[in-house]
Chains A and B, each alone.
Chain A
Amino acid sequence: MSKPFVFEKPMGMRDTLPLLYQVKQQVRQVMEQEIKGWGYQFIQTPTLEYYDTVGEASAILDQQLFKLLDSEGKTLVLRPDMTAPIARVVSSSMKNVSYPIRLAYDSAVFRSQQREGGRPAEFEQVGVELIGDGTSSADAEVIALMVSALSKAGLDEFKVAVGHIGFLNELFLEVLGNAERAEELLRFLYEKNYVGYASHVKNLALSSIDKKRLLDLLQLRGSEEILEEAKQIAAAGGQKAVADLQELFSILEMYGVKDKVFLDFTLFSHMSYYTGIVFEGYTKELGFPLCSGGRYDQLLDEFGRSAQAIGFGIRLDYLIEALDVKEPVNPRTCIVFSPERRKEAIVKSRELREKGKSAVVQDISGVGNVDEYSGRFEEVIYYIGKPVKGEVK
């Protein structure tokens, strides 16, 4: 195998250059501010976790995990999401803190890209977890906060689709009779294969009423009004899900974010992870959901401290792509000096920094092309030659 060229990086790994860094910083700060405003506390967890704990519990598919071995031969993973690590923390270091717990994070997560480039394998996620509260109020709070964080970041045009896993599970179980057959059908939804779903349903030995219920499910998308229709389709055990969604919408209205949210009962993004509502956010000109989340009432069990929980994660990279931020204003001043006036230059730079400005102090003999160099700065001050008073060019 040939050695990689020096410019090469593993697939999906990206550099953040100064301009993008500033944009990220700006967006990140605004969102952090908003999330803190809602009383969530930020935490950090390690980059490496055990495969057998966090790796297994995570919602991310096994083939997307970066795995490595530690010196004892145990398998480690680069954390693929933040929800599983937070579940671990809540059940261990924070096990004496009573529920509910509101935590937030802003961390890089790692997901290996199998097929091709075009998507990052490491990206930053900003998100929250509300652990130990199973109410619709908690559901609504998390969605409202997500909408609010996106709006504060400057995103105008976006929509959040909300589905309900409990609704789907109850319906499929009632109509199909057992979990195995239900899973077969759910897999079509998971694979987004509506054609396969419809033809599978048509071939099932079911009453025409039940077939119609299953087929009508594919059309259950739209505003709050479709909840009436959902009631007709829902299983006896699924009526609670519909009622919960009804309540969710009335709370979202109080938060003033109802117009951003619509229902999509076909939303089914993971075979077994989520338990209640699930949601994904989309924006114009972006082919992927830029945020997602849902209720995961079983995850905490795997870490030995059960709790109902819900959270969201926003992808900072997609958000910035969607925001299309103009150059951020972060002007820098360059103070170019010759050695005999070094002290003046340093005094000046201190003065500027105290005013909150960014100042570079540059020895003229350290630069090749002064004009080209100083051209990169918004403002240039020279201290060159014999000391004279008030030398600003």
Chain B
Amino acid sequence: MSSLLTVAMPKGRIFQEAVELLRQADYPLPPEFEDSRKLIIELEEAGMRFILAKPMDVPTYVEHGVADVGIAGKDVMLEEERDVYEVLDLKISDCYLAVAGLPGQKENSVAPKIATKYPNVAAQYFREQGEQVEIIKLNGSIELAPLIGLADRIVDIVSTGRTLKENGLVEMEKIQGITSRMIVNPASYRMKSGVIDELVERLSKVVESKEEVL
């Protein structure tokens, strides 16, 4: 293995914003960076190697130490509970976790069913509410579940609320706000503290300067 810092990036929704953030922090990511279909991209000049993973898998790569740092949504962190440091709130991909369902829907009173991509988060939330529910794990298009009668309600992330609206669903409770975080492997945090501290420092400057503009 080389001395490059391995960064696990989430494919999809967060990716573009994360790339922008790194550019603003003066890491020279080339323009073709986001068009590539490669899963591993080495950037000697930035001293970094990027791996492109499914968002839900980013903390796994970081926990096992095959990636030193990663960018992961707080939703994923809550669901996965991996043994990694959560060092910086990047304040990108702002959204929140919420409970939603069909308006006026009568619930199954024997065992209310909840469909979600986040079974751990959902179970924890309803436990705290003192509500007994049964969780059904889905991998996507969660909104479908109440429409077709698979579940009474769903737990999912909401950013604009458009998907809910277009499918006739309403938000019922907000669980918690979600942004993306920079996460670090505990061993890398000590063995590569120099580069990692610099990365955190540069990124936090960008995040702060954006805050001021707002």
Contacts and interface: CB of A to CB of B under 8 A. Distances in A.
Given A161-B190, A285-B1, 14 more contacts: A192-B84, A192-B186, A194-B85, A195-B89, A195-B181, A262-B190, A282-B187, A282-B190, A282-B191, A285-B65, A287-B185, A288-B65, A289-B186, A289-B187
Contacts of B150: none
A221 interface: yes
Interface in B80-99: 83-89
22 contacts: A118-B64, A159-B190, A159-B191, A192-B83, A192-B85, A193-B86, A194-B86, A195-B181, A199-B89, A221-B193, A280-B186, A280-B190, A282-B186, A282-B187, A282-B191, A285-B1, A285-B65, A286-B187, A287-B64, A287-B65, A287-B188, A289-B187
B156 interface: no
Nearest to A158: B191
Interface in B149-192: 181, 185-188, 190-191
B88 A195 contact: yes
Interface string B1-40: 1000000000000000000000000000000000000000
A348 to B, nearest CB: 47
A161 B190 CA distance: 8
A287 B85 contact: no
Contacts of A159: 190-191
- In the A-B complex, the 8 residue pairs with the smallest Cβ-Cβ separation, listed nearest first, are A287-B65, A282-B187, A192-B85, A195-B89, A193-B86, A282-B190, A195-B86, A194-B87
B66 interface: yes
Interface string A266-287: 0000000000000010111111
B63 interface: yes
A264 interface: yes
B56 to A, nearest CB: 13
Using C-beta atoms within 8 Å of the partner chain, give the interface range for chain B. 20 to 34
B190 A196 contact: no
Contacts of A193: 86
Nearest to A266: B85
Most buried by A among B83, B89, B187: B187
A284 B68 CA distance: 11
A157 to B, nearest CB: 8
Interface in A276-315: 280, 282-289
Nearest to B188: A287
B73 to A, nearest CB: 12
Contacts of B89: 195, 199
Contacts of A118: 64
Using C-beta atoms within 8 Å of the partner chain, give the interface range for chain A. 20 to 34
Contacts of A194: 85-88
Contacts of B64: 118, 287
Interface of A: 118, 159, 161, 192-196, 199, 221, 262, 264, 280, 282-289
B66 A264 contact: no
Interface of B: 1, 63-66, 83-89, 181, 185-188, 190-191, 193
Contacts of A199: 89
Nearest to B187: A282
Most buried by A among B66, B83, B88, B186: B186
B191 to A, nearest CB: 5
B87 A195 contact: yes
Contacts of A196: 86
A118 B64 CA distance: 9
Contacts of B181: 195
A110 B88 CA distance: 34
A221 B193 CA distance: 9
Most buried by B among A159, A194, A287: A287
Given A282-B187, A282-B190, A287 B86 contact: no
A288 B187 contact: yes
A286 B65 contact: yes
Nearest to B64: A287
B137 to A, nearest CB: 15
A287 B87 contact: no
A303 B83 CA distance: 31
Contacts of B188: 287
A193 B183 CA distance: 9
A358 B213 CA distance: 76
Contacts of B185: 287
Most buried by B among A192, A196, A199, A284: A192
A185 B1 CA distance: 37
Contacts of B83: 192
B34 to A, nearest CB: 26
Nearest to B67: A287
A92 B185 CA distance: 41
Nearest to A192: B85
A212 B44 CA distance: 37
A66 B89 CA distance: 37
A161 B187 CA distance: 10
Nearest to A262: B190
